Structure 1
């Protein structure tokens, strides 16, 4: 006991003088080059980059002797395999939440709907990234099929068609990206549909998304996300629009989302029962004292067509309309 007390006193005395307590071994452990700290840094880096669990990241680093690149590749491969299995297991579960994503590129625009099971997952950045990949894939596909336009073009894509597209010029298949997302988030996710429009000069595409989510991720800054979305194809008059096209397009998109028209109609349509679903005869959402037709006449534009998406809506009644309008030029 006296010997143990003596050792304790010696340690305490050394600590008070600022001397190393456990000599070289303790100093080496605290050094930034310590194997323990290096391994922890690699683990944190792999976790931040991939989003996979600490357990799986640690397993991958151990398997490949701390080779970060090999570990990342292996994690993606395993997640994709697990995602396909998980997707098969979850296939029958309802997915009525999700997001409408809207992407514009010069004189073209694409709107997509991707569904999931809960609003919690819809607000996940990884889910929003998947919506962006679907939008980019649809945009690239449709732009590659168009010829020189004399008027506008409109194209619809369904779930099975979207799954065969790529998430960029050299990206992987959207079906593979979907499997990865399902594996990570553990919910049934469905790439439901996409609509793409393109216009020549003297035309413009109005757009609006309702219930927009704030974008905290700069990688998603080119996207708009929400629960409702609209694209409105407009043509300017010979004199040109009497106000900003972007502002007009935004207001027209708001009207389509809020008033739910089924057709454009004509400026000659009289108010009546059947005119309630005709866009131009409807009271203008932002000024009910005039019709939408009167608003666009005063603005110097004409409306040719529109597309409206509502997240989770039953699309069976819309299929015939979309199929008949698959491509217009």
Structure 2
């Protein structure tokens, strides 16, 4: 039998909102596989779909920079939140984002090699200098770029500590030959939507096949025993609902729930003066997917889990 730790139970509980003992049973049933345990809970009706971004947190900042038809999001991690409030660290993240957008570099290793303004030399050297000065380890964890030949890159930073840096960073690509000011306003609103609604993909074609297969399996398991032709219709209907929840173009627009994001973009073409195409987005949440040591609460979980083991 797999060794089910208190930290595993806590992680699953935070991911799913299910009860502690249900989480422990799910982990036992799935041999300690977290993803399989999530599915087990969902099949039992004990959990809603979990979002990977809810699992963990790390310290540092996300930076966003936009120039002409180019945009970038970067994440720089630190050991403590105290460093994220440091003006020198904030300036470092902003400048790295500016270097990335100027050079059009979305690859971390390539970005580290780029020239950093001033006497630091490269981006990697600037990070090393900041580590020596501030006294805390830092890493350039990831970066992503978007560009359009004609149009704008909309952007938004949530929980900003200063201009262009915060806890969540979003860029959105809008392709159009229409009015740039109108496009920029639309892009900002859609970026705010992305920050709030957390779509998994632009449209159905962009949903990861493995994720889609998991969703189909959950629907099949929840409706096991029904005739095949009925089950197929249930799965088809369930996927349509799923796509409305997780794809950007089909989500209800947060600024007007009476329409989808796709409808809002189509309607905006009148104000912009030309057709508008939503080409892509990037959403970074600080620390998503980063394992972090557990300290508080673990003992409580362990006591509760072992008490009914």
- Using the size of structure 2 for normalisation, the TM-score is 0.58
Which of 103, 112, 120 is residue 82 of structure 2 equivalent to?
120
Deviations 1:259-306 (A, max 9, x none): 111211179x99512331111111111222221111111111221111
Task: Give me the whole-angstrom Cα distance separating, in 2, the residues matched to 1:271 and 1:286.
Answer: 22
- Alpha carbons of 1:198 and 1:129: their partners in 2 closer, same or farther (altered >3 Å)? same
Q: How does 1:135-214 map to 2 (within 5 A)?
A: 135-142=97-104, 156-158=106-108, 160-168=109-117, 172-201=121-150, 203-214=151-162
The answer to whether the aligner puts 1:294 opposite 2:234 as a matched pair is: no
* Structure 1 segment 202-281 matched on structure 2, within 5 A: 203-214=151-162, 223-236=163-176, 240=178, 244-265=182-203, 271-281=240-250
Cα distance per residue 1:147-176 (max 9 Å; x no partner): xxxxxxxx6322x33322221398511221
- 8 Å contact from structure 2 (residues 244, 251) kept in 1: yes
Mark the CA change 1:277 to 1:206 in structure 2 (over 3 Å): closer, same or farther. same
Is 2:251 the counterpart of 1:282? Answer: yes
Aligned-pair distance for 1:132? 2.2
Contact preservation (8 Å) 2:65, 2:72? yes
- Work out which of the two has the higher radius of gyration on C-alpha atoms and give 1 or 2: 1
Describe the superposition over 1:34-72 as per-residue Cα deviations: whole angstroms up to 9, x where unpaired: xxxxxxxxxxxxxxxxxxxxxxxxxxxxxxxxxxxxxxx
1:313 equivalent among 262, 266, 288: 288
Aligned runs of 1:18-37 on 2, under 5 Å? none
User: Helix, strand or coil for the counterpart of 1:253?
Assistant: helix
Structure-2 change in CA distance of 1:294 and 1:122 (3 Å) = same
CA shift digits 1:173-222 (9 cap, x unpaired): 12211111111211111111111222222x211111111124xxxxxxxx
| Aligned-partner Cα distance in 2 for 1:184–1:170 | 15
Cα distance change, pair 293–109 in 1 and its aligned pair in 2 (3 A): same
| Cα RMSD, aligned residues only | 2.9
Structure 1 position 102, deviation (Å): 1.1
Distance 1:245 1:132 in 2: 24
SS at match of 1:182: helix
2:71 corresponds in structure 1 to 109
* Corresponding residue SS for 2:121: coil
Please give the alpha-carbon distance, in whole angstroms, between the structure 2 residues aligned to 1:141 and 1:241.
26
Secondary structure class of the residue paired with 2:77: strand
Partner of 2:11: none
In structure 2, the gaps of 5 or more residues are 1-55, 206-236, 270-275, 292-309
Q: Is the 8 A contact 1:271 1:281 kept in 2?
A: no
- Say whether the 8 Å CA contact 1:140–1:168 is kept in structure 2: no
Range moving further from structure 2, 283-292 or 242-251:
242-251
Tell me by how many angstroms 1:138 deviates. 1.7
Where do 5+ consecutive residues of structure 1 fail to align? 1-93, 143-154, 215-222, 317-329
